[in-house]
Structure 1
Amino acid sequence: MTNKITTLLFDLDGTLINTNELIISSFLHTLNHYYPGKYTREDVYPFMGPTLEETFSSLDQDRVQEMCQHYRTFNQEKHDELVTEFPKVYETIKVLKEQGFKLAIVSTKIRKTVIQGLKLTKLEPFFDVIISLDEVRHPKPNPEPLFKALKLLHSTPEEAIMIGDNYHDIEGGKNAGTLTAGVAWSLKGKEFLSTFHPDYMLEEITDIFKIVGVERT
C-alpha cells in the first residue's frame, strides 16, 4: 500500500518556470565565446540538467570556473528578460500550499539564481525549503539534496514525490526512495523522460492534484 503523499519536491528550471530560452542563450553565449561557431541550439540540449561544473569540466578542465562565471554573469543579466511562467503553475502551487502539503525546491542551480526565479514568478512564498547547489556536496541524481530537503520538512521518502523535467530528477528520486513524476513539457521530450520510468507523467501541472488526492473544484 502506498503511503499518503504529504511532501512534494520540485525541480525548478523547466519544471515550474520556463528557463529554457535563458539556459540555451546562456550556453550559446558562453560556448561561442570559447569555441566560436562550434555549437548550435540542439548541441546544448544535453548540457541542460547537470551542474555547470559537470558540463564545462567535460569540455575544458582548466577553465571550468572561468566558463561558469561567464555563463552566470550573462544568465543573471538576462534572467528577467527571458524567463517566463508555465501555465497554471502559480495557481497549482498555491492550492497545494493552502491544502497543507510540504513543498520544497531541489535544484542544481546556485541559490541566488533559484531565488531570483521564484521571486520573478511570485512563487517564493510557497516554498519554506530550498536546496540549491550551494547546500550540497553531491547534486542530483545523488540523493543528498533530496534527503536534506526531507529532513528540513520533517518528512520521510515514503511520503514524498520528486517532480522534474530531467533524468537527474527521476534518478534522484529513485535513489532517495521517493515516488517520482516527470513532466511532459520537458524540453528533452516526454518520450526521453519516459525511458527513466518515473512513477507518473504529468501532462500538465494540475495532474498532480489527482496523484496527491486533492479534489479540484
Structure 2
Amino acid sequence: MVKALLFDFDGTLLNTNDLIIQTFMHVLEERFPGQYKPEDCLRFMGPSLVETFKELTPDEVDEMVGKYRKWNLEHHDELVTEFDGVIETLEELQALGIRLAIVSTKRRDTIKRGLDLMGASHFFEFLVGIEDVKNVKPDPEPVLLAIEKLGVEKEDVIMIGDNHHDILAGKNADVKTAGVAWSIKGEDYLKQFHPDYILQHMSDLLPIVKES
C-alpha cells in the first residue's frame, strides 16, 4: 500500500528547465566563451552543482557555484513556470492521507522559494536538500533519510523524478520509482532506467495510490 511519495523538485514539480539552462549558459559563456550551447547543458541537470563544476572547472568549484547561485536566484521568479496539474494533484493526494516529502540536490532555501512561489509549501512534511546528506542521488542516502524521517516501510514508498539520478536513487534504496514523461530529457531517456511507473501527467499518481 502506498503511504508516502518522495518527489524530486526541479523538472518534476516546478518547471525550472529554462532557468537552469540559462543560468548554466550565463556562467559558462563568461568562463568558456562560445564553447557551450543550451543543449549541452542537459547533462548538467541532475548532478549537484559541485559535481558538475568539479568536472568543468576543478580549480574554481566554489567560485563557479557561487556565480551560478547568484544569477539563478536573481532570475528565479521570472523564469520558472508550473507544470499542469501539480497543485490539484497534491491537494488530492493530501486529502487521501498520502504523506509527501521532497528529496532534491538543491539547497533547502532554494526549494522553499520555488514551493512558496507555487503556493505548495504546505503539502510537504519536510524537504531533504543537499545540505542534509553526505552523498546525493543516485546514492540512496537522501531517499533513506526521507523514509527514516517519515517512519514508513520501504514497500510503501515511491520515489518520483525527471532524471535518472532520481530513479537510480529509488532503486538503490529499494523503493518503487516513477519517472515523469514531462522530463526535458524525454520519456524514452527515463525508460532506459526501468522505473516502475511512467507518469504522463501528475494526476496519474492518483490511480496508482488508490489501487495500491
**TM bracket (short chain):** over 0.9
Corresponding residue number in structure 2 for 1:13:
10
Are 2:155 and 1:158 equivalent residues in the alignment?
A: yes
Offset from partner CA, 1:108-145 (integer Å, 9 cap, x none): 00111110010000110000110000111101111111
**Aligned mates of 1:124, 1:30 — CA distance in 2:** 30
Aligned partner (choices 198, 207, 211) of residue 210 of structure 1: 207
Whether contact under 8 Å (1:164, 1:183) holds in the other structure is yes
**Aligned mates of 2:118, 2:4 — CA distance in 1:** 21
CA apart distance, 1:64: 0.6
CA apart distance, 1:205: 0.5
Secondary structure of the corresponding residue to residue 179 of structure 2: strand
Q: Which amino acid aligns with 1:116?
A: R
Corresponding residue number in structure 1 for 2:170:
173
Are 2:122 and 1:125 equivalent residues in the alignment?
A: yes
Corresponding residue number in structure 1 for 2:111:
114
**Aligned mates of 2:74, 2:50 — CA distance in 1:** 20
Aligned partner (choices 3, 27, 31) of residue 28 of structure 2: 31
* Aligned ranges 1:18-167 → 2 under 5 Å: 18-167=15-164
CA apart distance, 1:178: 0.6
Superposition CA RMSD, Å: 0.8
Secondary structure of the corresponding residue to residue 61 of structure 1: coil
Corresponding residue number in structure 2 for 1:185:
182
Structure 1 gaps of 5+ residues are none
Offset from partner CA, 1:66-113 (integer Å, 9 cap, x none): 000000000000000111100010000011111111100000001111
Structure 2 gaps of 5+ residues are none
What stretches of structure 1 move > 4 A for 4+ residues in a row?
A: none
- Scaled by the length of structure 1, what TM-score is found? 0.96
Whether contact under 8 Å (1:108, 1:132) holds in the other structure is yes
Whether contact under 8 Å (1:129, 1:153) holds in the other structure is no
